[in-house]
């Protein structure tokens, strides 16, 4: 939204998820966010689709993946960043929403996710030099920045240790006005 300067056209409403009887379920039965209700009343779910819709709304898409090999490369990187983010939100859910005694005693989910996130940080420490991660702003970069910020701010994970290139990349990314404007309170 900020990248495309659509703040005045899109109303942001906080939804209550994972709560029995939330009024949000009448809007989006899946109960997941993000969800965008278009001007014609039709709703759409999922960050990838919503980003593409908002990107096209002014007729000059800035984030459309290039065609051919480069497009596949970009989607490969984005899928990897999204996979990291999906694991982190499972970890965050375990930590933030479940009372201690309800946490899975055998498969300590957050240990599993912590290990996954370590492997993913190792992978990204190498992959971050990919030209598409250093070139013009794209959705692979957005998704990775969201994942790393979530890991720092919500999970308070020490992922920066041993990943200096990734840490420097995120610091650079956080200087971009749209990223800076949407960092939740609490800093980097
Ligand atoms: N891949 C989806 C992920 C959506 C997703 O998992 N959203 C979570 C955010 S934590 C959610 O709404 N969870 C609520 C629930 O599980 O009921 C996307 O990028 O939009």
74-94 pLDDT tens trace: 999 999 999 999 999 988 887
- Ligand 1 centroid–CA 83 distance in Å is 12
**Ligand 1 centroid distance, CA of 47 (Å):** 9
- For ligand 1, atom 19, the nearest C-alpha belongs to 47
Over the range 66-101, which residues count as b (16 or more CB within 10 Å of their CB) and which as e?
eeeeeeebbeebbebbbebbebbeebbebeeeeeee
The answer on pLDDT for 99 being more than 70 is no
Instruction: Of 87, 92, 56, 110, give the one whose Cα is nearest residue 184.
Output: 92
> In residues, how long is the chain?
188
Task: Read off the pLDDT band of 127 (50, 70, 90).
Answer: very high
**Which of 33, 147, 150 has most ligand 1 atoms within 8 Å of CB, for mutation?**
33
Domains of the chain and any CATH numbers: 1-64 (3.40.30.10), 68-181 (1.20.1050.10)
Tell me: pLDDT of 147 over 60.
Answer: yes
Q: Note the pLDDT of residue 183.
A: 84
Atom 9 (ligand 1) nearest CA: 33
> CA dihedral in degrees (160, 162, 165, 169; nearest 10)?
-10
State the pLDDT at residue 97.
Answer: 67
**pTM above 0.85?**
yes
Write the residue with the smallest CA distance to atom 16 of ligand 1. 32
- pLDDT for the residue numbered 110: 79
Q: Tell me how far apart the alpha carbons of residues 187 and 109 are, in angstroms, rounded to a whole number.
A: 27
Question: Which residues make Cβ contacts (< 8 Å) with residue 62, sequence separation at least 6?
Answer: 3, 4, 55
Q: Which atom of ligand 1 is nearest to the CA of 18?
A: 17
Residue 187: predicted pLDDT: 57
Of 77, 50, 64, which Cα lies nearest the Cα of 144?
77
Q: Please tell me the predicted confidence (pLDDT) of residue 9.
A: 95
- What whole-number distance in Å separates Cα of residue 103 and Cα of residue 8? 41
Report yes or no: 171 and 188 within 8 Å, Cβ to Cβ: yes
Distance of CA 101 from the midpoint of ligand 1 (Å): 24
The percent of residues above 70 in pLDDT, for the chain, comes to 91
């Amino acid at each position: 939204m900020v990248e495309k300067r659509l703040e005045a056209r899109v109303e942001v409403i906080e939804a209550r998820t994972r709560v029995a009887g939330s009024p949000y379920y009448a809007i989006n039965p899946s109960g997941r966010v993000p969800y965008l209700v278009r001007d014609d009343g039709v709703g759409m779910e999922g960050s990838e689709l919503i980003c593409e819709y908002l990107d096209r709304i002014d007729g000059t898409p800035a984030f459309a993946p290039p065609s051919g090999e480069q497009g596949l490369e970009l989607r490969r990187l984005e899928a990897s960043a999204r996979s990291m983010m999906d694991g982190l939100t499972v970890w965050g859910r375990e930590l933030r929403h479940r009372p201690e005694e309800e946490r899975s005693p055998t498969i300590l989910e957050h240990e599993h996710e912590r290990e996954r996130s370590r492997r993913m940080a190792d992978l990204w420490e190498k992959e971050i030099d990919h030209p598409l991660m250093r070139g013009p702003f794209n959705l692979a970069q957005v998704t990775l920045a969201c994942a790393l910020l979530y890991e720092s701010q919500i999970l308070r994970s020490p992922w920066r240790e041993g990943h200096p290139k990734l840490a420097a990349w995120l610091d650079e990314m956080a200087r971009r006005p749209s990223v800076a404007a949407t960092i939740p309170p609490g800093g980097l």
